[in-house]
Structure 1
Amino acid sequence: MVNHQTTIGEIDSINGNTISIRLFDNIKSHMPIIDGVVYRVGQIGSFLKIPLGYANLYGIVTQIGSSAIPEAFREVYASDYEHAKNTQWLSLVLVGEQIGKKFERGITQFPATNDKVHLVTIDDLDIIYGGLKEDDSITVGNISVSESLAAKLDLNKFISRHCAIVGSTGSGKSNTVSVLLEAIAKREFISSRILVIDPHGEYSEVIKGQSKVYQINESQSNNKLYIPYWALPFNELIKIFPGNLSDSQREYLREKIVEKKIESLTINTLEIEPEMITADSPVPFSIKQLWFELDDFERKTFQQDRVTECLVAVGDAALLKSSEYTPASPGGGAPFLNNKAKGLLNFLDGIRIKLKDTRYRFLFQPGEWGPDLDGKVNKDLDELLYGWLGDEKPITILDLSGIPSDIMVSISGTLLKIVYDTLFWGQNTAAGGKQQPLLIVLEEAHNYLKAGENSIASRTVQTIAKEGRKYGVGLLLITQRPSELDETVLSQCGTLIALRMNNSKDRSHIRSAVQDELQTMVDLLPSLRTGEGLISGEAVKIPSRVKFYKTSSAPKSSDPLVTEQWKKDSPSIDEYRKTIASWRTQNFNS
């Protein structure tokens, strides 16, 4: 039944799903009171209703004032200022319709000119935002236009169709992510899987009871983050070491790594055909033994017969100690250099330096995943992945804050590739993504997903964005610089949560990612409150302005309360001593 109190105007022109509405002159106030509730007319982002018999069409206000005047009337109003001043216009974008008590996105019928337009009441909002099954949704906050209404997301579409959270520094991104993770964790699914790639260690203190945190600098071995070097693709492994290689040197190294991996098949009882092994295969091998053999070959000198080696002292692969040979004669006589050497000594010295660097222990000394000199490992990748994805707690946080910045892109990309390849190739098993879907959360995504960059991280995330839905792998990207993100990845995110954003370049990037008719709503972003955002896309029935809940435990990225911290006593010299020790050891717990 139509409530005539809510009528505010009528349709004057229709252009696709964009409607131009002329407000009635007899509206006494832009804040009418209906059934004791105050409503505001003509707010950008607010809803209006167009009754059509048994159905109601709903739309979002995108323009008000002179910019909303239909093209055909602009010349008339330009010459008649008084008439223009007393006539008010709105532009409306149709987004869905209600038949009976059910609301659906999309339009099956269109209004006609002179059809009446109504305010949307609280009862209407209940219909728009209601209807999601409790089992299929999570509640993350309140609808800004009516704080009595809970803001819900369709969990199936939120995860499987990917999501991006964007916003300037201080807009509330970390809080929003924490609220989303808490809402999923509280659902207490028996086997939910969420993997958070956390480059700055922001989330280690959040939702402690529902998450397991792996850290580079963790003292407890069962919570220590190890990433075995032998699981890295060949190009990413070689990239870690300083120096340049010629094409022939690179292929020589590739062949030697393949040989080592084939040798370890028998040692580790891996049932793989040797012909299937490549330098990229995640098969264990000893990089120390490989280094020693290559280094030894490069250093060899020979006596007059060019067969007998001039060995002085045998080195030690475990200690990364080179063998000693009698130096070659500079005059052309014996001892002779190895004329088959590949000129790799400088590169091999770089490998030794990296292997001894304590910052890279998580990679080259990966605990029980570290091969002995024969290539034998105590634990394989199945136990590593089971620890990350099979824990009884729904959320696993991989804290990468201790990883050197120069290899952050390679390591984060390798992590993602290991996980995705496992779920892709295991799609027909109970642990595959189809049987047990996974949500991957990428904090500070712009750091390793830069537009135009051909890194392993960028390639892997692009693959997940394009194909992950088919294999049960969803993405949640968080960034403060969407303009630096690869457009392919952003365009594949079915749900967009945009928090306050002041940078015009970033806003224009977001504008290109939303449907054309709603692009004017992006102009609202600078005026949003902290912790408030616009949600559009697959996970919501209708684009919504939402005030997110405040999480009970703030992430580490939260700003310190200066006035509170400065009331404390000044730290003693012992505290500065601990600080310097932490810096020197690259360990937060020193």
Structure 2
Amino acid sequence: MQVVGVTTQQEVHIVSRERKFRINEILVIEDPSLNDPKGEVVETMAYNRLIPMGYDKSLVDHQILETLRNIGYDIESDEINLAKLRLFEEAPYPVRTGCSVRLPQFAEVRNLLVKTTPQDGMVLGEIRGTESMVESMSEDLQDQVMMLEQEELRSQCGVPFIFDIKTMQQYPHVGVFGGSGSGKSFGLRVMLEELMKLRIPTIVFDPHFEMDFRDQVPQLKDKCTRLHDRSIIVQIGQNVGISFSELSTRDVEQLLGAAGGHLTESMVNVVQSLHKRRDSYTSFSDRLNNLVQAQDEGSNQLKRKLNDSELTPLEAERIKDLLSLLQEYGTLPSASVRGIHWRLNRLEKAGLFQHDICAIEQGLEQGKLVVVQGSAWVLQVFATYVIGALYRKRREYKDRKMNGEEGHFFPPFVIVTDEAHNFAPKGVDSPAKHILKEIAQEGRKYGVFLFLATQRPTLLDETITAQLNSKFVFRTVRGTDIQTLKEETDLTPEEAKRLPYLRSGDTFVSSAAFGRTIFIRIRAAYTRSPHISNPFDELKQIAEERDEKVIQVIRKHLPLFDTDLLQIVGVVRRECGLDWDVARFKQELDRLAEEGRITKHETPFTTRYDQA
């Protein structure tokens, strides 16, 4: 392997007769005057005499052709393997043309590839293009991951990619980007497994109900032992909720705004007028309900009712309370009061005020991964409250410690969410956006970090995107998203062109901690998503199970005649749990007969169904 053509301080071209170059592999240029610089293959090409060559649109230019001829290549007959090599560090002057190029020993490039040990970092996958270094790799890095290729597990055959979580103190926050089917959610699952392995307190907002870590991959059960009991799943309205009495008036405004869109000024005035410090949900709701009723009936009608001679003392007291409420708050616009009333009822029906967040706080204090599940809009509303509450606890502890005061310890933690553009959309206000922006900009000082995943980086708030110092870029097809990623990362034009064609699970890692982009493949996950089954296999399986149940029931009553169907369909409904009428039952019998599972005999008088 040799350097050919015109060289620069950043890039050179190399050529070989015998060896084909791997994309992203690392090579050493033997130029002693530059201390043998190292570089990464960013583009490759192979020629032979049987294939026409478009010299004007490739790596090959006139200077490279001349160099090849001068060093003895037969352009018309030899197979020529060419590669463009980008140096890791800019050289003070161009590399000498004609230098030999060789594969490195692992020790020569360890500092470029590995920043921490597997025990202290997140072992996320395998660095592509490092297969040639396996034999010289140190023992502590061998057999760290299992890879999934073509649905088959294989052993590690490259250098493991280990993300040093401690560098987030200096380079905070992680973004995970990729289109549907790119492996983004799979990669996020692997990251969460590693956070569990390291016992880092983590809260995950799961809008798709897929971050369940109880279903282990049988072949990797020995790896899963480290994750046993390190995660808990809570559902909004069933296990966790919002303690209304702990909410400030500002918190109530944010929650009600999240329940149905931006609050108008008059709605904000209603909340500020009606909400009292330490209000419970019942006291605030009753006050609001009573005001709605009082405004509906009006002062005059209430006074007429009060003069009714048949009124009981309890009813009279009730009307006096309504009149008093109307006198105090009657100037508030009725439409705004009703708007707040509707929003509050919507939150209550979602179960938001039936529990508190003690289960989440306890899970984080135990170093566990807490998965919060709920419908999309409820999750956004709840995230606004819980992120703010947890962040304040951590911030208050750190501020007290800085001032030399003692406070209750609350651990640093990581916030993870999929579909992050729904929580912090660009150009649109949303419930959780304000607190996420604050953490993106200041969370590093308090030990609170973000892992945000989205299919549409273009739709994510730009302030937050700019603060994501490490970005995992999976397959991306949309031109606007690719352009956004080029602006927000150090992806080269060659790497950006590859984005639409990446295999599921392959990703570029653009990290300030490494100072360059690394191409990796995510390792096999130790656990499986509950949504892993193919929906078409599921459809077939359910249909077969249903048919088997029906056949077992009707087999006891064969032969069946048309006159029996009304009686038998009742038995089928009861024993199989199917809501079929006679017409549907007859259609299913005819289908089973066509498939040969029962027989059908037509006579001039009736139809008979019998054993196959």
Distance 1:289 1:531 in 2: 53
Distance 1:44 1:229 in 2: 57
Deviations 1:1-32 (A, max 9, x none): xxxxxx331472325xx3132x35xx323xx2
Q: Does residue 1:256 correspond to 2:274, yes or no?
A: yes
Residue identity in the other structure for 2:12: S
Range moving further from structure 2, 553-562 or 441-450: 553-562
Distance 1:249 1:495 in 2: 41
Q: CA deviation at 1:440?
A: 0.8
Q: CA deviation at 1:514?
A: 1.3
Distance 2:262 2:3 in 1: 71
Match of 2:478 in 1: 503
In the alignment, which of 376, 381, 392 is matched to residue 410 of structure 1?
Answer: 381
Match of 1:493 in 2: 468
Residue identity in the other structure for 2:452: L
Q: CA deviation at 1:449?
A: 2.0
Match of 2:125 in 1: 141
Q: CA deviation at 1:49?
A: 2.3
Gap change, CA 1:560 and 1:303, over 3 Å in 2? closer
Gaps of 5+ in 1: 1-6, 33-39, 97-106, 219-223, 265-282, 317-321, 329-336, 370-380, 580-590
Q: Does residue 1:62 correspond to 2:42, yes or no?
A: yes
Q: Does residue 1:291 correspond to 2:255, yes or no?
A: no
Match of 1:278 in 2: none
Match of 1:46 in 2: 25
Q: Does residue 1:362 correspond to 2:344, yes or no?
A: no
Q: CA deviation at 1:245?
A: 7.2
Q: Larger helix proportion, structure 1 or 2? A: 2
Residue identity in the other structure for 1:427: K
Q: Does residue 1:226 correspond to 2:241, yes or no?
A: yes
Gap change, CA 1:310 and 1:229, over 3 Å in 2? farther
Deviations 1:361-380 (A, max 9, x none): 422x323x5xxxxxxxxxxx
Question: What aligned pairs does 1:94-173 form with structure 2 within 5 A after superposition?
Answer: 94-96=87-89, 111-114=94-97, 116=99, 118-121=101-104, 123=106, 124=108, 126=110, 128-130=112-114, 132-145=116-129, 146=131, 147-158=157-168, 161-173=172-184
Larger Cα Rg: Structure 1 or Structure 2? 2
Match of 1:13 in 2: 7
Q: Does residue 1:239 correspond to 2:257, yes or no?
A: yes
Range moving further from structure 2, 285-294 or 543-552: 285-294
Distance 2:281 2:456 in 1: 38
Deviations 1:61-111 (A, max 9, x none): 33456567699969999xxxx989999864433325xxxxxxxxxx68565
Gap change, CA 1:144 and 1:112, over 3 Å in 2? closer
Gap change, CA 1:181 and 1:236, over 3 Å in 2? same
Query: What is the total number of aligned residue pairs between the two structures?
Result: 483
Residue identity in the other structure for 1:169: S
Q: CA deviation at 1:554?
A: 1.5
Residue identity in the other structure for 1:422: K
Distance 2:322 2:432 in 1: 45
Question: What aligned pairs does 1:153-552 form with structure 2 within 5 A after superposition?
Answer: 153-158=163-168, 161-187=172-198, 189=199, 192-206=200-214, 209-216=229-236, 218=238, 224-229=239-244, 231=247, 233-239=251-257, 247-248=265-266, 250-257=268-275, 260-261=276-277, 286-292=283-289, 294-295=291-292, 298=295, 341-349=330-338, 351-352=340-341, 360-363=349-352, 365-367=353-355, 369=356, 383=358, 386-390=361-365, 392-401=366-375, 405=377, 408-428=379-399, 436-515=411-490, 518-540=492-514, 542-552=516-526
Match of 2:136 in 1: none
Distance 1:497 1:112 in 2: 32
Q: CA deviation at 1:60?
A: 2.5
TM-score normalised over the length of structure 1:
0.68
Gaps of 5+ in 2: 46-55, 68-73, 132-156, 215-226, 550-572, 580-612
Distance 1:327 1:295 in 2: 10
Report the RMSD for the aligned CA atoms in angstroms.
Answer: 4.6
Indicate conservation of the 8 Å contact 1:20/1:89, yes or no.
no
Q: CA deviation at 1:474?
A: 0.9
Gap change, CA 1:327 and 1:120, over 3 Å in 2? closer
Distance 2:42 2:160 in 1: 23
Gap change, CA 1:110 and 1:552, over 3 Å in 2? same
Deviations 1:37-57 (A, max 9, x none): xxx32x443333234548443
Distance 2:435 2:26 in 1: 40
Indicate conservation of the 8 Å contact 1:243/1:350, yes or no.
no
Gap change, CA 1:354 and 1:324, over 3 Å in 2? farther
Match of 2:585 in 1: none
Indicate conservation of the 8 Å contact 1:185/1:210, yes or no.
yes
Deviations 1:483-506 (A, max 9, x none): 221222222111111122233332
Indicate conservation of the 8 Å contact 1:301/1:325, yes or no.
no
Q: CA deviation at 1:226?
A: 0.9
Q: CA deviation at 1:417?
A: 2.3
* Higher RCO (CA < 8 A, seq sep 6+): 1
Distance 1:201 1:288 in 2: 31
Gap change, CA 1:412 and 1:73, over 3 Å in 2? farther
Distance 1:508 1:576 in 2: 55
Gap change, CA 1:349 and 1:542, over 3 Å in 2? closer
Distance 1:310 1:51 in 2: 105
Q: CA deviation at 1:237?
A: 3.1
> What SS is found at the alignment partner of 1:424?
helix
In the alignment, which of 85, 95, 105 is matched to residue 92 of structure 1?
Answer: 85
Match of 1:37 in 2: none
Distance 1:484 1:294 in 2: 41
Distance 2:398 2:158 in 1: 42
Distance 1:125 1:63 in 2: 20
Distance 1:130 1:137 in 2: 10
Q: CA deviation at 1:467?
A: 1.5
> What SS is found at the alignment partner of 1:456?
coil
> What SS is found at the alignment partner of 1:136?
coil
Q: CA deviation at 1:515?
A: 1.7
Indicate conservation of the 8 Å contact 1:19/1:91, yes or no.
yes
Match of 2:71 in 1: none
